[in-house]
Amino acid sequence: MSDEFSPIRPKSVPLSHTLPKTDKRSKTRKAPRLATIVIGLMIAAGLGVFLIVPNLVGKSEIGKKAFLPSTPSVDASGTRVTTPEPELPPFQTLQREQARARAQEELAQFVELQLKLEQTMQVGSWGQVTFDAAKSLANEGDEQFLRDEYESAMGKYQAARAELEFLIQQGSQLLSEALQAGQIALEIRDQATATDRYQTALTIDPNNTTATRGLQRAALLPEIVRLMREARNHELTDRWAQALSTYQEVLALDDKTDGVAALKRTAQSRYTQQRITEALSTGFAALDTGKLDTARGGFQTALQLNPGNQIALGGLEQVAELSELRKIADLHKRAQGAEDSEDWTAALTAYESILTVDDNIQFAVEGKQRAFAQRRANQTLGNIIANPDKLSSKALFTDALRLLEQARQLSPQGTILGRQIAEAEQLLIHYGKPVPVTLRSDNATLVTLSTIGKLGAFTEKQLELRPGAYTLIGSRDGCKDVRQNILVRPDMQPVDIRCQKTF
């Protein structure tokens, strides 16, 4: 193997800022390619440092031999000739290649920032002067790089990169300020300023969603301003329903319109209060005219809008009181009508209904007692009149006398009661006078008469009995008992009672 070696010489790197300007699409295609070339050269240089240089250092002749690479020059005849340059020792070559790699790294960072500013942040519309200055520094670095002045080139690239970093920071700041100013302009409904600021933001960041949405909102400002003015006019004339509806229109256009949500809440509150006032007014007006159903509806509406409203609750209490009074009055009128027609069952029902509303109403207490007594008299006298033959019973006759006397004490005595009393009196007079009754038998049959008792066996017996219904029972040993119902009347024929059928 030869002891001689050739030194490593990286190729010159073309930079994006040194290329002729083309359209934006051409830049977009070339920039990634340039970055790839730069990174590839950096990797190649690193591999050279770690693979080739150690082999060179391992040669025993290192540093003893000097190789003179060709350096182009022109002789007297004008012919281009190569003049060998002195070769650097391996360590110095290593240092030189490391410097060259660092310069290329700085260059790669510069190119990355350059692409971001040109393609993403539209630097030409807001920071061209500083951007051009940064590229000039990079161009100076290129010249030094081509002269193999790598340390100096790296310094220029660093300075150029710092300028681009400053521009990016400045662009971000301008974007933030534009968005903030646009938001403030939206809040005060300044369409011109909002539009200008958001357009500025989109110049820096064309894909900024906040700025895009801001421009859309700014376009709605004239209509929003009109609606806000309309809503305010409604408020000034207490047309809160219309104001609320208008604020809802504003929110439908742009639900982020500053202050509208609060204004809507206020309008809603005032409209609700307005409806409560109207409902209460309706309730009390109806109460004054006795329209209790309408009054109740008004107060209930107020309570639906404002549960626990004391005025509405008080109104409902008045409605309840008046409703009770009206009910009592209606029932009283019904009871009086029933009394006039001597329908004491209906009168009693009406008075009892009044007492379920208020059991302390005195006229209802008295009316109930009166109706009960009248109905009882009607029923008992009616039974006496309907069944006079039962007056043959001494107990029933005595009860009838007592009930007739009680009926005479009742007041008022209507037509029906008066007629019943008169009829009962006549019946009691008639049935109170005994009449002669002749009973005949076989002197073997034992005879018993209801309400009187045992009469024994006889052939004929004379009795004095009150008119009415009686039952004769005859019994005799060896014969079946006989039972005979008789009605005692004046001038009645003799009655025969005897047992004849045997078992």
Maximal CA-CA distance, the chain: 202
Q: State whether 36 and 158 are in the same domain.
A: yes
Angle between helices 209-236 and 191-204 (to 10 degrees): 170
Average pLDDT over residues 37-47: 42
Chain centroid offset of residue 99 CA: 72
Q: State whether 481 and 356 are in the same domain.
A: no
pLDDT greater at residue 1 or residue 407:
407
Q: State whether 52 and 166 are in the same domain.
A: yes
Q: How far apart are CA 311 and CA 434, in angstroms?
A: 78
Cross-sheet strand order for the sheet of 460-465: 460-465, 435-440, 495-496
Q: How far apart are CA 185 and CA 443, in angstroms?
A: 136
Mark which of 374, 403, 432 sits at the end of a domain: 432
Q: State whether 24 and 151 are in the same domain.
A: yes
pLDDT at 363 over 60: yes
Q: How far apart are CA 115 and CA 168, in angstroms?
A: 11
Average pLDDT over residues 62-91: 49
Q: How far apart are CA 503 and CA 487, in angstroms?
A: 29
Identify the burial level of 459 via C-beta atoms within 10 angstroms of its C-beta, where 0-12 means exposed, 13-18 middle and 19 or more buried: exposed
Taking the C-alpha atoms of 325, 328, 333 and 337 in order, what is their torsion angle to the nearest 10 degrees?
A: 180
pLDDT tens digit sequence for 295-351: 999 999 999 999 999 999 999 999 999 999 889 999 999 999 999 999 999 999 999
- What's residue 251's pLDDT? 94
Q: How far apart are CA 144 and CA 146, in angstroms?
A: 5
pLDDT at 17 over 90: no
Total domain count, the chain: 4
pLDDT greater at residue 19 or residue 63:
19
Q: What domain range is 220 assigned to? A: 214-340
pLDDT above 70 coverage of the chain, percent: 81
pLDDT tens digit sequence for 79-107: 545 455 566 677 777 777 777 777 778 78
Q: What is the gyration radius of the CA atoms in the chain, in angstroms?
A: 64
Q: State whether 441 and 472 are in the same domain.
A: yes
Q: Answer whether residue 154 is part of any domain.
A: yes
Tell me the HSE value of 484 on the side-chain side, using a 13 A CA sphere. 18
pLDDT greater at residue 9 or residue 429:
429
pTM of the model: 0.50
Q: How far apart are CA 490 and CA 179, in angstroms?
A: 127
Residue 384 vs residues 210, 416, 468: alpha-carbon distances, Å: 104, 15, 12
Q: Answer whether residue 408 is part of any domain.
A: yes
Q: State whether 278 and 177 are in the same domain.
A: no
Split at pLDDT 50, 70, 90, the class of 77 is low
Mark which of 393, 411, 432 sits at the end of a domain: 432
